[in-house]
């Protein structure tokens, strides 16, 4: 008998019929001799509908605490209905909210991180032979406030819970049947990967691949959770996410991701003296705002310009914080750009293969597309470009790195190592 955590996303439980099919799948696993803990997201577009409802009530941004109170109701509906569906099939099931499951988080609303899990009630119910249904995306702070983990946080709930109860396997069920080399809606010949390493998946998740939440992958890597991504609509084998994945011969780039949720903010005329960037980015960090690519230009006349990227959803707040620091930093002007996309290539084989970044730059250049910003690490290269050219760039890169066909292979070049 093995202990399995199964997570189902909103599309998997989008209506009553889908909820019943998920219940049947869970019951089959139980009757095959497995102990099952199930993590569920809100049904379909429930979260978006609740957000829209709050906008009809509030003229401005609603209180973050009350938004968490509102949004967590979506998952509570899902877990109770799924528990009912399983019980109607003759198996015993019990539903718990995040806080009933012992999930503790930071005292931060809308994007809290899990700090501890004390799954006493979950373990007790498992011992009693029950299927445990846990609401994803939510927890409770040490002061007793209800919190949410940010969009996609149910993945994190599932993997963190799997680590806490020493589960043998964590399955993430979604509307696709695994991790693909890129978005198959853009590249029809994109291939499903049999396996991918934690590090590669973590980069892809951070860079826009929406199949897994980045924090979920972090948990899986840190606690060595056996993780599989598979479809809730078929019985096809999924993609295994593991410590090390077998590399296909000649395949250096494992996948291509993109992120449209990008804004570029430029701060012009910053006096050149020590500590300027520290002051600004400390303020952004205090407000829990993430920044990504940071580029500083040369110094001219005792001042410099620099740019960074942040999410579109954080742009307005970031600009407010920058304005608040104007008296301290003394910059001349702030500008911003939208309608951008960050395109990234990821692969563990890049670290030992020359010419990977040069090929990416050349492919984009051959399409007549300008690159605004570049960021690199040992296993990824990211370029920020105009969103208009996204599909053409993705298709060209997918072909250039031999991902269209296993008969092709990227062999690198002599120019540089990346």
DSSP labels, 308-370: EEE-HHHHHHHHHHHHHTHHHH--SEEEEE-SEEEEEEE-GGGGG-BTHHHHHHHHHHHTT--
CATH superfamily of 263-337: ACT domain (3.30.70.260)
pLDDT of residue 414: 34
Count the Cβ atoms, other than its own, within 10 Å of residue 126.
17
Domains 263-337 and 340-400 share a fold: no
pLDDT of residue 405: 63
Distance, in Å, from the CA atom of 314 to the CA atom of 317, rounded to the nearest integer, reads: 5
Please give the C-alpha separations between residue 192 and each of 20, 214, 269, 359, in angstroms, as whole numbers.
28, 19, 47, 23
pLDDT of residue 408: 44
- CATH T-level fold of 340-400: VC0802-like (3.30.2130)
pLDDT of residue 289: 87
Give the chain's radius of gyration (CA, Å). 23
In 3D space, the residue among 202, 183, 273 whose CA is nearest the CA of residue 241 turns out to be 202
CATH number for region 3-175: 3.40.1160.10
**Contact partners, residue 275, CB within 8 Å, separation at least 6:** none
**Contact partners, residue 312, CB within 8 Å, separation at least 6:** 260, 261, 262, 263, 338
Strand, helix or coil at 36?
A: strand
Count the Cβ atoms, other than its own, within 10 Å of residue 322.
18
pLDDT of residue 250: 58
Count the Cβ atoms, other than its own, within 10 Å of residue 297.
13
In 3D space, the residue among 189, 198, 132 whose CA is nearest the CA of residue 165 turns out to be 132
pLDDT of residue 378: 87
Residue 64 phi/psi, 5-degree rounding, is -60, -40
Distance, in Å, from the CA atom of 312 to the CA atom of 333, rounded to the nearest integer, reads: 20
Dihedral of CA atoms 396, 400, 401, 407 in degrees, nearest 10, equals 110
- Walk across the sheet containing 93-96 and list its strands: 93-96, 131-135, 35-40, 3-8, 169-174, 227-231, 239-242, 195-197
The single-letter DSSP state of residue 387 is G
Cβ(178)–Cβ(391) below 8 Å:
no
**Which H or E element spans position 280?**
helix 276-286
Distance, in Å, from the CA atom of 269 to the CA atom of 299, rounded to the nearest integer, reads: 9
Strand, helix or coil at 220?
A: helix
Please give the C-alpha separations between residue 323 and each of 144, 287, 331, in angstroms, as whole numbers.
34, 14, 10
**Contact partners, residue 216, CB within 8 Å, separation at least 6:** 152, 155, 156, 158, 159, 160, 172, 205
pLDDT of residue 249: 56
Dihedral of CA atoms 103, 106, 109, 111 in degrees, nearest 10, equals -80
Distance, in Å, from the CA atom of 391 to the CA atom of 368, rounded to the nearest integer, reads: 14
Task: Return averaged pLDDT per consecutive 10 residues of the chain, 418 residues in all.
Answer: 94 95 97 97 94 93 95 97 98 97 95 95 97 97 95 92 97 91 92 92 88 91 94 91 72 91 92 86 88 83 88 92 90 92 92 88 96 91 95 96 64 35
Domain ranges of the chain: 3-175, 263-337, 340-400
């Amino acid at each position: 008998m093995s202990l399995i955590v199964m997570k189902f996303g909103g599309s998997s439980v989008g209506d009553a019929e889908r909820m019943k099919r998920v219940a049947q799948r869970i019951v089959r696993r139980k009757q095959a001799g497995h102990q099952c803990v199930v993590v569920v997201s809100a049904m379909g577009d429930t979260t978006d509908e609740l957000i829209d409802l709050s906008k009809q009530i509030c003229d401005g941004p609603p209180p973050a605490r009350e938004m968490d109170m509102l949004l967590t109701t979506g998952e509570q509906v899902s877990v109770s209905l799924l528990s009912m569906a399983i019980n109607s099939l003759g198996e015993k099931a019990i539903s718990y909210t995040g806080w009933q499951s012992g999930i503790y988080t930071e005292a931060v609303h809308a994007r809290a991180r899990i700090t501890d899990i004390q799954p006493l009630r979950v373990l007790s119910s498992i011992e009693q032979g029950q299927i445990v249904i846990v609401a994803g995306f939510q927890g409770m702070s040490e002061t007793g406030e209800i919190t949410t983990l940010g969009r996609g946080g149910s993945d994190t709930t599932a993997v963190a819970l799997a680590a806490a109860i020493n589960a043998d396997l964590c399955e993430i069920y979604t509307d696709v049947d695994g991790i693909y080399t890129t978005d198959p809606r853009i590249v029809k010949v994109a291939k499903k990967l049999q396996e991918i390493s934690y590090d590669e998946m973590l980069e892809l998740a951070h860079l826009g691949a929406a199949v897994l939440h980045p924090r979920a992958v972090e948990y899986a890597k840190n606690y060595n959770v056996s993780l599989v991504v598979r479809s809730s609509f078929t019985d096809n084998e999924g993609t295994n996410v593991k410590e090390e994945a077998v590399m296909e011969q000649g395949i250096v780039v494992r996948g291509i991701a993109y992120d449209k949720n990008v804004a570029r903010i430029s701060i012009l005329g910053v006096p050149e003296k020590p500590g300027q960037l520290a002051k600004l980015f400390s303020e952004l960090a205090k407000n829990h705002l993430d920044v990504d690519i940071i580029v500083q230009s040369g110094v001219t006349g005792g001042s410099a310009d620099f740019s960074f990227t942040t999410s579109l959803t954080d742009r307005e707040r970031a600009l407010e914080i920058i304005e608040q620091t104007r008296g301290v930093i003394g910059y001349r002007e702030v500008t911003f750009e939208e309608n951008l996309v960050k395109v990234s290539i990821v692969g563990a084989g890049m670290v030992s293969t020359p010419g990977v970044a040069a090929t990416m730059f050349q492919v984009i250049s051959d399409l007549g597309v300008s690159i605004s910003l570049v960021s690199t690490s040992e296993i990824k290269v990211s370029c920020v470009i105009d969103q208009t050219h996204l599909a053409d760039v993705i298709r060209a890169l997918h072909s250039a790195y031999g991902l269209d066909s296993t008969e092709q292979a990227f062999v690198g070049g002599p120019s540089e190592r990346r």
